[in-house]
Amino acid sequence: MAAGLLSMPRGTYLHLDGGLEERFRCAPGAGGWRYVGERSDGVRTDLVADTRWRQIRVELAGPEWRIRGGVTGRDLVWVRGDAEHQARAVGFLGESPAFLVALSRTLDLRPGEGASVRVVQVTGPSLATLTVDRRWRLTGITPYETETDPLPVAAYELTDLATGEVAPVHVAGDVVLNAPGIELTDLESPPNL
């Protein structure tokens, strides 16, 4: 997944709507990548992606609701409360930036390429689910100078196909630098590329 030395990025995202903080840590491993985050309102995200960045194990837990699920073949299967659900989708798209990282990486786009995908969007403390279509387009990759090596930042356009609304998403390795309603406010170690 990454060349050279691997780090375990830790940091804080600010959810601009509501002013919630999400403390997170993520790291690649032998079988894929894992992200663990907890927001200041108690909503927790635990996402495990395999070596192809498919969301094979996801757990979202709020004060009253919990979702557990993952990709099995071409379907996304999940349990919310006592009910089991299934949809033809590539993964979840939740409020945590973890989902943006996993989805952008699983598409493996080249600059100028785009792809339309169906995802299950999860929102709010009730962890409500809705199957939606999104278009990802990689507009470019820009290297930014750092104290060690240049940091490649991938710029995406994320389009809601139901409304036509387009939003920018910037990802550096396994960390989202900014996205709609999300701002990276603290990063204790560099992202894994």
Q: What pLDDT digit, counting tens, does each position of 65-81 carry?
A: 999 999 999 999 999 98
Which pLDDT band holds residue 1 (cuts at 50, 70, 90)? very low
Report how far residue 135's alpha carbon sits from residue 52's, in angstroms, rounded to the nearest whole number.
19
Model's pTM, two decimal places? Answer: 0.92
Predicted confidence (pLDDT) at residue 132 exceeds the cutoff of 70: yes
Q: Residue 73: give the domain boundaries.
A: 10-187
CB atoms within 10 A of CB 146: 10
Decide if 132 is inside a domain. Answer: yes
Count structural domains, the chain: 1
Question: Residues near 62 by Cβ (< 8 Å), separated by ≥ 6?
Answer: 41, 42, 43, 44, 125, 126, 127
Question: Residues near 86 by Cβ (< 8 Å), separated by ≥ 6?
Answer: 75, 76, 77, 78
Which pLDDT band holds residue 184 (cuts at 50, 70, 90)? very high
Decide if 1 is inside a domain. Answer: no
Which pLDDT band holds residue 144 (cuts at 50, 70, 90)? confident
Residue 5 is predicted with a pLDDT of: 52
Distances (CA, A) of 104 to 39, 58, 63, 83, 169: 22, 16, 29, 29, 9
Decide if 170 is inside a domain. Answer: yes
Per the CB < 8 A criterion, the answer to whether 158 and 136 are in contact is yes
**Ramachandran sector of residue 18 (left: φ over 0; alpha: ψ -120 to 50; beta: rest):** left
Residue 3 is predicted with a pLDDT of: 42
Residue 183 is predicted with a pLDDT of: 95
Decide if 4 is inside a domain. Answer: no
Decide if 193 is inside a domain. Answer: no
Decide if 192 is inside a domain. Answer: no
Decide if 46 is inside a domain. Answer: yes
Decide if 180 is inside a domain. Answer: yes
